[in-house]
Structure formats: structure tokens, C-alpha cells
Amino acid sequence: MKLATYKDGSRDGQLVVVSRDLSSAHYASGIATRMQQVLDDWNFLSPQLEDLYQTLNHGKARHAFAFEPEKCMAPLPRAFQWADGSAYINHVELVRKARGAEVPESFYSDPLMYQGGSDDFLGATDDIVAPSEDFGIDFEAEVAVITADVPMGSTPEAALEGIRLVMLANDVSLRNLIPAELAKGFGFFQSKPATAFSPVACTPDELGAAWQGGRVHLNLESVWNGKRVGLCAAGEEMTFHFGQLIAHICKTRNVRAGSIVGSGTVSNKDWSRGYSCIAEKRAIETIESGAPKTEFMRWGDTIRIEMKGADGQSLFGAIEQKVVPLQAS
């Protein structure tokens, strides 16, 4: 099934069920009002939502309405945890090679991961508010999952069973703030502002054969200022699948229902596929010619991130954002 959260003036919004073709929706208020409710009581509530989903797909839902992505908050508007990995080792290799650094051997066996802010996510069409263009504004096109409870010590295989929903993410980065933060030895903080997510989150079964081994075997498209800059394969080169990423968290703690885990920037060795973040393009330019040429995003720039199924239809709806300056309050 496909689920979304509509804006209603509250912090957690209103849960809606969305049709497979993303054309129509229906409030789920007779079953649950918020996404977190469903995640907390999945076994009881999800079958009821699936029934509504089937009714909606057959055109028999009495109070269906046209689905409007611009009315969406993030599918889970605020989460107990947002942990973002760097599961595509090619991305790490490129960035490090551009600055003349080796990739430690441990990076190939132990995932990189940081914990981002989870109290203030962006809807798919919400603006990216940037206080300064000098911060080095970058998009990062990713895949993400929302989990059930996954206990400490879980294996990657067991962790896969804890994946409830799949969606897309734009993990915005402020690249020029990163070096000074990492130099402190404590990781990202100010350089990672609010993350945006696709309008819709899907259960893994909606992906059909594309969902294999904890990976989504489809292309992720990035369109910057109206120009397609990336059509990257999200499956084959994902070094660590989502079960491994979740198990990495579970090494020392429980993962609770409503945790979001990101894949990191989708990246391919074939440079002709383009890029899912500007930093990677700049790394390639540095490797090829000694210096980056592509500038980071400016106020007024737009980014569109989308993934389509084998039938050419959008699976999650598109993330469509504009970069704007911070307005004085």
C-alpha cells in the first residue's frame, strides 16, 4: 500500500491512503489519524489500511479525492530517529580520491552512518531555506526506509523483516560547513539541515521484483534547474543493503518503530549515469582536471528527485523543492 501525511496545521498531520497510480487518496481517520500510530500497532492497523487501499484502487472508496503532493508533509513528519548511512562506497571513494585520501579498509565492511535531526522534516514540495548561499547548498538524492521495532543484536536478515515502508529522501547538505565540523571530531551537525522526503511511502511489496535483498533495483532521477543531472541505479552498487544498515544501529541499541534509515547518496561507477549530489560531480571534475567547476546551489534553484517503476509510473511521487533565503522574522 501507499501512505502519505496531509498538512492540517498540526505537527503530525493527517494520515491518508494513496492509490497505486497516485491519482487519488482517502483519509484514514476511521482507522488511524497519524503515521506513528500505524507503526506502533502495525499488525492490527495495517490490514485495515490495506483494505481501504484496495477499495481506493478499485474506484469504490466513497470519500476519495484527488491526491495533491503539495499538500503533503513528510510521510512521517517527525521521527524518533533519523540515521543516514553512506551505503554506496563509490561515493566515498570519489570524494576521498578528489582530496587525495585513501579509503580505509573498514569502510568496506562496516557502514558509515550519522544521526541527523528528526524533529523537523520537510514535505516533498517545501522550500529549502538556506541562511546563506556561501554555505555550499547541495542536494542528496537517496532511498530511505521506516522501521518497526528491531531489537538490539539483530542480524541483517532479521533487520530486513523490520522494514515497514520505503520512500525517497533529499538529505540536504551545506558542504562549506562540513570541513570545520568534521575537524572537531564529532561529526555533522549544522551542515545537515532539515531533510525532505517523497510525498508517498510504500510498503516493500509495492516495489514488486525491484525490491530484492534489501535494495531497490530501480533508477533514481535527479533534475536540477530543469536539467536531468542523474539517472543512477539504486540497487546494484549499494554496498550495504538496508538490513545491514539497520543491523549496524542494532549493534548497541534497540531500533524503535518510527525510525528512519537512509541509504546515503545513490552513486554509480559509470559516470555517464550522472550524479545524485553536486559534491560528487565536483569530485569527478577535480579527479579529471584538478579543480571543481560546478557551483553549489543558489537561491532560486530547483531540484526534483523521482523514481519510476518498470511501467514508467512514479512510485513515491516527486520531491520538488526550491532554494530560498531565510526571511527575517
Could you give the CA distance from residue 170 to residue 138 in angstroms, rounded to a whole number? 9
Mean pLDDT computed over 76-80: 97
Q: Is 293 exposed, middle or buried (0-12, 13-18, 19+ CB in 10 A)?
A: exposed
**Is residue 328 pLDDT above 80, yes or no?**
no
Question: Which of the residue ranges 89-93, 217-221, 320-324 would you say has the lowest mean pLDDT?
Answer: 89-93
pLDDT digits (tens, 9 = 90+) for 162-194: 999 999 999 999 999 999 998 999 989 999 999
Could you give the CA distance from residue 111 to residue 129 in angstroms, rounded to a whole number? 30
Write out 3-67 in H/E/C secondary structure: EEEECCCCCCCEEEEECCCCCEEEECCCCCCCHHHHHHCHHHHHHHHHHHHHHHHCCCCCCCEEC
Residue 237 in grid coordinates? 552498487
Confidence of residue 29 (pLDDT cuts 50, 70, 90): very high
Q: Is 264 exposed, middle or buried (0-12, 13-18, 19+ CB in 10 A)?
A: buried
CA distances 52 to 20, 27, 29, 57, 159, Å, are 12, 10, 11, 9, 28
Confidence of residue 268 (pLDDT cuts 50, 70, 90): very high
Q: Taking a C-beta distance cutoff of 8 angstroms, is the pair 224, 303 a contact?
A: yes
Confidence at residue 329, expressed as pLDDT on a 0 to 100 scale:
65
Q: Taking a C-beta distance cutoff of 8 angstroms, is the pair 302, 226 a contact?
A: yes
- Which residue would you say has higher pLDDT here, 292 or 95? 292
Mean pLDDT computed over 148-165: 98
Could you give the CA distance from residue 318 to residue 68 in angstroms, rounded to a whole number? 11
Q: Residues 285, 287, 288, 293: what is their CA dihedral angle, to the nearest 10 degrees? A: 20
Q: Any idea what DSSP says for residue 109?
A: T
Could you give the CA distance from residue 273 to residue 255 in angstroms, rounded to a whole number? 34
Query: Alpha helices, DSSP H only, in the chain?
Result: 35-40, 42-57, 89-98, 156-160, 178-183, 242-249, 278-289
Q: Is 323 exposed, middle or buried (0-12, 13-18, 19+ CB in 10 A)?
A: buried
Could you give the CA distance from residue 203 to residue 199 in angstroms, rounded to a whole number? 14
Confidence at residue 256, expressed as pLDDT on a 0 to 100 scale:
98
Mean pLDDT computed over 189-210: 97
CA distances 204 to 141, 144, 312, Å, are 19, 11, 18
The residue type of 147 is T
Confidence at residue 106, expressed as pLDDT on a 0 to 100 scale:
86
